[in-house]
Amino acid sequence: MTLTVSMTVNGKAVSRDVEPRTLLVHLLREHLGLTGTHVGCDTSQCGACVVHVDGRSVKSCTMLAAQADGASVTTIEGLAAADGTLHPMQEAFRNNHGLQCGFCTPGMVMSAVDLVRTNPDPSEHEVRTWLEGNICRCTGYHNIVKAVLEAARTMRQPAAAE
């Protein structure tokens, strides 16, 4: 048995026939080829699978594709501008060496963008608390926190676009 799910992913309308048990992360990776969203733990512990659903961060390994039917989904691939200009959060991660192996980075970036949307001027403590659901095994978080704080400053400027 399959069902048809339709949604907007990174600004494009998509529709796929999937099994009812298909997770959003698998729809994105296997059906749509958007492999920037990572599967790290399959238990919602690591945060590598974070995407935005209707503007809010969601661990896509805990959401059925059917639950996103009709929604707007943004993945790490859809965060940058169409011309390739990086989102301020992506740029800040690059500038501050907020990544090493890069496996957790898409989920960290997507979570951090939602944090700054929710709280445009977070403290270091608030950044660390918000990112508790995202595990990085390489960086020690210091540069990730620096990157989020830099991006928050940039994103508060009137000319910055999300």
Domain boundary among 11, 46, 78: 78
Structural domain range at position 107? 88-156
DSSP assignments along 63-103, one per residue: SBGGGGTT-EEE-GGGTS-TTSPPPHHHHHHHHTT--SS-S
Looking at the DSSP bridge assignments, the partners of residue 52 are: 57, 74
Does one domain contain both 106 and 138? yes
Residue 103: both structure tokens together: 């496996």
The predicted structure's pLDDT at residue 74: 98
Does one domain contain both 73 and 10? yes
The predicted structure's pLDDT at residue 162: 47
> Exposure pattern of 76-115 as b/e (b: 16+ CB <10 Å)?
bbbbeeeeeeebbbbbbbeebebbeeebbbbbbbbbbbbb
> What is the reported pTM?
0.93
The predicted structure's pLDDT at residue 7: 98
Domain count, the chain: 2
The predicted structure's pLDDT at residue 1: 94
The predicted structure's pLDDT at residue 107: 96
- Ranges in the chain, pLDDT < 70: 159-162
Does one domain contain both 92 and 73? no
Does one domain contain both 99 and 133? yes
What are the pLDDT digits (tens) for 38-68? Answer: 998 878 889 999 999 999 999 999 999 999 9
